[in-house]
């Protein structure tokens, strides 16, 4: 699995990813770095309620997630090897959700991946 991750990083170059929506419409994403905890770990906050109201396209949301995580990694001080990922599910309901099954699968994959991911910054 680590080999695939390294290969993906070499091919995709997530460290060079730029979110055009952040430049064109700052503050409209439902995912952002909001600061650092007491241990100096970056805190990334996501709100599904805002994601629903903003109606971002899936590709844009994934690009923004990569951009946010890479910027969190760049902001880590020496010795910090993790980040905190807060997912706010307030006002989220499966009955009135406008998310497609594809969107939900992407969000589920992102949550699974990031909640288990520990990054060792060199």
pLDDT per residue as tens digits for the range 47-68: 877 665 555 566 777 888 888 9
What does the alpha-carbon distance between residue 76 and residue 22 come to, in Å, rounded to a whole number? 21
- Which range marks the domain in which residue 106 is found? 27-116
For residue 80, give both structure tokens: 């910090």
Q: What is the CATH number of the domain that holds 82?
A: 3.40.525.10
Backbone angles phi, psi at 44, to 5 degrees: -105, 125
The maximal CA–CA distance of the chain, rounded, in angstroms, is 45
For residue 1, tell me if it sits in a domain: no
Report how many domains make up the chain.
1
pLDDT at 104 over 60: no
Please indicate, yes or no, if residue 17 is contained in any of the structural domains: no
Task: Give the DSSP per-residue string, 61-85.
Answer: HHHHHHHHHHHHHHHPPTT----EE
Stated pTM of the model: 0.64
Assess if residue 13 is contained within a domain: no
Taking a C-beta distance cutoff of 8 angstroms, is the pair 45, 72 a contact?
Answer: no
93, pLDDT greater than 90: no
Find tokens 């709100």 and name the residue: 47
93-103 mean pLDDT: 50
- The SS3 call for residue 93 is coil
**Would residue 5 count as lying in a domain?**
no
For residue 94, being part of any structural domain is answered with yes
For residue 40, is it within any domain?
yes
* Pair 88, 51: CB distance under 8 Å: no
């Amino acid at each position: 699995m680590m080999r695939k991750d390294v290969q993906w990083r070499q091919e995709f170059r997530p460290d060079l990813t730029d979110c055009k929506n952040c430049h064109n419409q700052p503050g409209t994403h439902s995912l952002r770095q909001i600061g650092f905890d007491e241990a100096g770990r970056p805190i990334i906050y996501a709100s599904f309620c805002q994601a629903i109201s903003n109606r971002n396209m899936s590709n844009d949301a994934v690009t923004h997630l990569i951009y946010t995580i890479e910027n969190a990694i760049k902001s880590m001080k020496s010795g910090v090897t993790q980040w905190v990922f807060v997912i706010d599910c307030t006002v989220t309901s499966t009955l009135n959700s406008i998310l497609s099954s594809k969107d939900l699968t992407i969000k589920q994959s992102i949550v699974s991946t990031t909640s288990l991911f520990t990054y060792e910054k060199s």
